[in-house]
Structure 1
Amino acid sequence: MEFDPVLIAPRRRQMRAQGFWPDRTINDYLAACLAERPDQEALVGTNSVSGEETRLTYRQLAERAERIAGGLVRLGIGAGDVVSYQLPNWWQFTALYLACARIGAVANPLMPIFRHRELIFMLGLAESRLLVVPRVFRGFDYQAMAKEVQAEVPTLERVVAIGDPGPEGFEAVLMAGAPVAGPAPTGPDDVTQLLYTSGTTGEPKGVMHSSNTLISNLLPYAERLGLGSGDVVLMASPMAHQTGFMYGLMMPILLGARAVLQDVWEPKRAAALIAAEGVSFTMASTPFLNDLAEAVVAGGLSLPSLRIFLAAGAPIPRPLVQKAKEGLGAAIVSAWGMTENGAVTTTKLDDPEEKAANTDGCCLPGMAARVVDAGGREVPRGEEGRLLVRGCSLFAGYLKRPEWNNTDAEGWFDTGDLARMDAEGYIRISGRAKDIIIRGGENVPVVEIEGLLFKHPSVAAVAIVGFPDARLGERAVAFVTLREGTSLTFGEMTEFLAQQRIARQYLPERLEIVEELPRTPSGKVQKFKLREVAQAFSPTTA
């Protein structure tokens, strides 16, 4: 497979001169763990299908990765070949990435929610040679689907299933032979990860990352949060998403820490894992924070080991920050990032509480951000504009689509987000550029109204989008999920928002109660799907 990481070369000299690119790979950090702490527990995971719990030391994890690497080599897979795997947060996920890194193959994790249409496109674009899946997960037959997909993807030579005891099974194909003893001469600027965007706007793009772009994010991230080898990281966000991959798989190995994996999100189970394993840090999207806080409060639980919950993926509603801090007893850190960058901004541990409630943080070392108007000129602090970022953890480019890279001659990447920046350089994401609602020439502050409506005691989640109107151009509809045993009428919603003293022009003009909001696996609301529903609405207020 030929890759085109065109965004690497223009930054190489500057990033190395400034010390942001360490020129190391995951192989180097795993070797350090083997030298310094071979018998320390590295990973704890449970397979919810089999009920099997797996505990691996760094020595055992490395041995399994070497054995899988040997299996890959026997299949003819080598440097530059793409290995795709659609797996939950199981130990095999981590070991597969380490095996790929050992032989120079490119890891292509795929979200478990994907089905035939998405997989055929993604595997075809990546020219994947191998697909690893669970035989069954959450009642779905992944092995059967993968076989059907294989017939549609010419490059896909092999499907291997975890949980299949036969000759197509993971153990027989990838674990049965001799291990690969040493790492391949893979460079830190070579593509090591191919990850598809999670789909908040419909069409996925293949995001390429090198070891340098990934690791240059993880090191300052861990330093800002004071994380080290003594920490225990819970990862319940899917590792096939950048959050899980970078901060649940890679970061513990870089730190020599311990990772605790949860394959199906269940807040009571997460609380039990935190208590039993002494978890000190976790990162997930805002809905996970809300779920965990509610489970802990409802159960009268105490989680003294948990120091930090970093929430990203969507702004944290102000009431949730206080509820979570009181319920969990942990520092609540707000962050913003993308598949293309990892976490770009976070709040700091010594920031006042209102920073986590009112901002998405300031840039990590090595990254820079600016907010600009339609003409590319920086707007005054506090004003809304398009968010641009650049720096060490910016991706290597979109696979086979360099025309979509959306960077200018100075390296600024247009994120597609709207934001405001305060006097101290902290940003607040105010929406997506395509999420703007313009009602009668007036921009509706969507994120602010969503945050206010979230305060209503009946509201569990909310997303506001526009629908067409002949006179005003657009009107706003609020899609709301309710807390159990509660109700909400349109009149009650508007009365509640009016009590918040906002302009009447900002009030949603329609309320839709739904069972759940469409989300990406990382928790981001897929507003493009809600807009599709809203297209059929007439401009009524009832």
Structure 2
Amino acid sequence: MSSDPALLLDAPFGSFPALISAWGEARGDAPALYDGTQRLSWRETADRVERIAARLQADGLQRGQAVAILGTSSVNYALVYMAAIRAGGCAAPLTTSASPDQLLGMAADSGAIHLFIDRAKLTELGDFKLPIERQIVLDEDLADFMVPEGTRAAPFEPEDQDPFNIIYSSGTTGIPKGIVHSHGMRWRQISFRSAQNYGTTSRALLSTPLYSNTTLVTFLPTMFSGGYVSIMGKFDAEKWLQRAASEQITHTMLVPVQYRRLMQFPGFDDYDLSAMKAKFCTSAPFPADLKAEVLKRMPGGLVEYYGMTEGGVSCILIAHEHPDKLHTVGQPAPGHFLKVLDENLNELPPGEAGELVGRSPVMMLGYKNQPEKTREGYWTDPGDGTVWQRMGDVGRIDAEGFVELVGRTKDVIISGGFNVFPIDLEMELAKDDRVVEAAVVGIPSDQWGETPVGFVVLKPGVGEDALEDIRATANSRLGKTQRVSALHAIEEMPRSHIGKLLKTDLREIAQAK
């Protein structure tokens, strides 16, 4: 093995388990993980990953079998995640915000025989028990679970199609689908690390949960490049700024609502963030005005990723290089391809809005145990038989190849037989100086089939008596088929744990009103 583990990453495919061990030797006492309570060097990290993996193997973990993890992100959480992969299994982080019934479904679907759960989540669940044979309290029992110091796990040499992780979709209803990613897919993702300045000097701050693919976009390249990861169990603007400044953070992943809270924090400009090299964003629409403010006030580059956990296409907007394209999500990454389809699944020319489908080297293996759902998520090109992922979004591609999102396919409002894209209405509402944020949903209408209803977060000091004027002003700039039929004030938009706007909740509120 090369004395420089970074050289291993230049290969077309390689071993993540070998990388963890190699960085443990090469980086030794250099810091690897910290969560505000526990701090580990690279030597300690590699040793503990080996010891947890060896115990998983001794307990009968089979190749490709899931190891379930449930709780708040922490050093121990990260160790178990990597140990599951080192042992030859795959990591299956379960969504902490899921209902007990959803957790029951995910646990059964995963096929895991181990569940690592933290004390807080165990207490929250109370008498509700998940049907997994072996349960280890993550923040209390991990030291006793590990085999003795210095013990190494049996060798595991991954193949391209071996499962690396299962990410459960963030659906708001039913049992989330298990999205299976392979070692090969993750390796191809990591190959882009150099373009984003990942290396042994990288110091990443994570404040989104490790059960989310969003977080892995920064966690994995930092760890497998021999860098340092600082983990926040819960985002808090002031604490984030304190840690980013004191630890001289170079890389971070934040969702749009977190950027907005940082920009609104009164003491933001008092913190020294000059070490920051790259800031990333994904998971939810990132308004152009917010991107512009982040570019102006936060040091380092700003990169937005657009894509699905399932794979398909990944688009990249290097915002600091394309300040005139902030209304887009960038261009498809190298080796990624995008098409726009009409309602009959025929390809549309540039400039026209339609359903997006993507194809790339980083597509999922499929939904675990759901072949029918997997097939439903694909579109086959009738011309050449290639398989494309249906992205679930409506968008258009401009003449330079930049992609502008118009909305989700399920969120398009059909009013009087016309397609109404919520983003067009939301942008007009958000232009008003009295509005912080806007969202539009469609609700049933006897006259039009569906009608657009808007929600706004008002700026401090603005009363609800301004709503009608805000609505009328926006409608005066919209086409007749687009106009907002009602506008409601809301204190805060409903969002998932990773910042996705929950339009299902807004529809329920609109219909109740």
On whether the aligned pair clears a TM of 0.5, the verdict is yes
Structure 1 residues 58, 237: closer, same or farther in 2, change over 3 A?
same
Q: Which residue of 1 aligns with 2:474?
A: 497
Which secondary structure does the structure 1 equivalent of 2:129 belong to?
helix
1:159 aligns with 2:135: yes
Give the corresponding residue for 1:414.
Answer: 390
- 1:207 is matched with 179
> Between the two proteins, what is the percent identity of the paired residues?
27
Q: Shift in Å at residue 311 of structure 1?
A: 1.8
Corresponding residue of 1:43? 33
Q: Counterpart of 1:316 in 2: which secondary structure?
A: coil
Distance 1:227-1:349 versus aligned 2 partners, 3 A rule: farther
Show the counterpart of 1:148: 128
Per-residue CA deviations over 1:30-74 (Å, capped at 9, x if unaligned) read 23423432332222222xxxxx2x222221111111121233234
- What is the letter of the counterpart of residue 214 of structure 2? T
- 8 Å CA contact 2:359–2:389 kept in 1: the answer is yes
Residue 209 of structure 2 is aligned to residue 238 of structure 1:
yes
Pairing of 1:5-404 with structure 2 (within 5 A): 22-46=12-36, 52=37, 54-136=38-120, 141-143=121-123, 145=125, 148-150=128-130, 153=131, 156-164=132-140, 169-174=141-146, 179-199=151-171, 203-220=175-192, 222-248=193-219, 250-295=220-265, 298=268, 300-341=270-311, 344-348=314-318, 351-355=321-325, 357-404=326-373
The DSSP-based 3-state class of the residue aligned with 2:405 is: strand
Contact 1:360 1:427 in 2 (8 A): yes
Q: Is the 8 A contact 2:313 2:337 kept in 1?
A: no
Asked if the contact 2:313–2:358 (Cα under 8 Å) also holds between the matched residues in 1, the reply is no
Length, aligned pairs only? 497
How far does residue 274 in structure 1 lie from its aligned partner after superposition? 1.0
Contact kept, 8 Å, 1:335 with 1:343, in 2: the verdict is: no
Q: CA deviation at 1:474?
A: 1.0
Deviation at 1:208, TM superposition (A): 0.4
**Aligned-pair CA distance for 1:360:** 0.4
Q: C-alpha separation between the residues in 2 aligned to 1:323 and 1:415?
A: 28
Distance 1:175 1:92, change over 3 A: farther
> Which one-letter code corresponds to 1:23 in the other structure?
F
| Alpha-carbon distance, 1:468 to partner | 0.8
- Structure 2: which 5+ residue stretches go unaligned? 1-8
Residue 92 and residue 59 in structure 1: after superposition, are their counterparts in 2 closer, same or farther (change >3 A)?
Answer: same
Distance 1:237 1:457, change over 3 A: farther
- CA–CA separation in structure 1 for the residues paired with 2:264 and 2:92: 35
1:429-481: CA deviations, max 9, x gaps?
A: 21111100122222223113223323434434332110111111111111233
Asked if structure 1 preserves the Cα contact closer than 8 Å seen for 2:312 and 2:358, the reply is no
For residues 408-428 of structure 1, what are the alpha-carbon distances to aligned partners after superposition, in whole Å with 9 as ceiling and x for unaligned?
Answer: 241211111111111122212
The 8 Å contact of residues 362 and 427 in structure 1, kept in 2 or not, is answered as yes
Which deviations, in whole Å up to 9, do the C-alpha atoms of 1:4-35 show, x marking residues without a partner?
Answer: xxxxxxxxxxxxxxx99932232132234234
On the 8 A contact 1:271/1:296 being kept in 2, the answer is no
Which residue of structure 2 lines up, in the alignment, with residue 508 of structure 1? 484
Deviations 1:49-100 (A, max 9, x none): xxx2x22222111111112123323433232322111122201122112211
Structure 1 residue 288: deviation in Å? 1.1
Distance, in Å, in 2 between the alignment partners of 1:37 and 1:124 is 39
Q: What is the deviation of 1:525?
A: 1.1
| Consecutive unaligned residues in structure 1, runs of 5 or more | 1-18, 47-51, 538-542
TM-score (norm 2): 0.90
1:158-207 superposed Cα distances (whole Å, 9 cap, x missing partner): 2211334xxxx333234667733443233232112111111156552110
The 3-state SS of whatever aligns with 2:321 is: coil
- Decide whether the 8 Å contact of 1:479 with 1:513 is kept in 2: yes
Q: How well do the aligned residues superpose, as a CA RMSD in angstroms?
A: 2.5
Q: Say if 1:179 and 1:449 are closer, same or farther in 2 by CA, change over 3 A.
A: farther
Check 1:274–1:351 CA distance in 2 against 1; reply closer, same or farther (3 A cut).
same
Q: Map of 1:444-483 to 2, 5 A cutoff?
A: 444-483=420-459
| 3-state DSSP of counterpart to 1:358 | coil
Please give the TM-score of this superposition, normalised by the length of structure 1.
0.85
Q: Helix, strand or coil for the counterpart of 1:392?
A: coil
